[in-house]
Amino acid sequence: MVHHMTMTDERRPFASQAPDDRTASDDPAVTPDELSAHLIELIDRVRAGETIALVSGGERFASIKPDGPAERKMAEFVAKGYVRPDWRRRHEELLELINEGPVPPIFDDGRTATEELLRERAEDQR
């Protein structure tokens, strides 16, 4: 359940929902209006490690959370030029392809990219 915050809480939290409004999380919750009105403070809280749930009509529809170690490492790779800035979108596209079924062959003789990579590695080891 979401802990619905009020402006009287010691951490100056938010959320004007009634206490009986519930969603599937224990994260502190804010409405879009509260997010807009207190954006800088909420950003500071997320930077400090807190996850904030966004709720509307008592229902959670999104969350704002700090980046984990993998996201921070990917940001470092982007900054160094190892990974393209659109890596997240491209990753999601790859996951969609994987979920669609087996990877189709990309070579005229029916080999997949993985099979070609394994063949090349075997050649290099000779």
| Domains of the chain by residue range | 3-64, 69-125
Report the DSSP pairing between strands 3-4 and 52-56. unpaired
Structure tokens at 97: 């392809």
Q: What angle do CA 24, 19, 37 make, to 5 degrees?
A: 85
Look up the pTM and report it.
Answer: 0.50
Split at pLDDT 50, 70, 90, the class of 38 is very high
Residue 44 DSSP SS3: helix
The pLDDT of residue 98 is 75
| Greatest CA separation for the chain | 72
Q: Identify which of 66, 58, 69 has the alpha carbon closest to the alpha carbon of residue 29.
A: 58
The pLDDT of residue 22 is 42
pLDDT tens digit string along 6-29?
A: 433 444 455 544 444 444 567 899
Q: Please state the φ and ψ torsions of residue 41, each to the nearest 5 degrees.
A: -65, -40
pLDDT tens digit string along 56-95?
A: 998 999 999 999 888 888 889 889 888 888 888 888 887 7
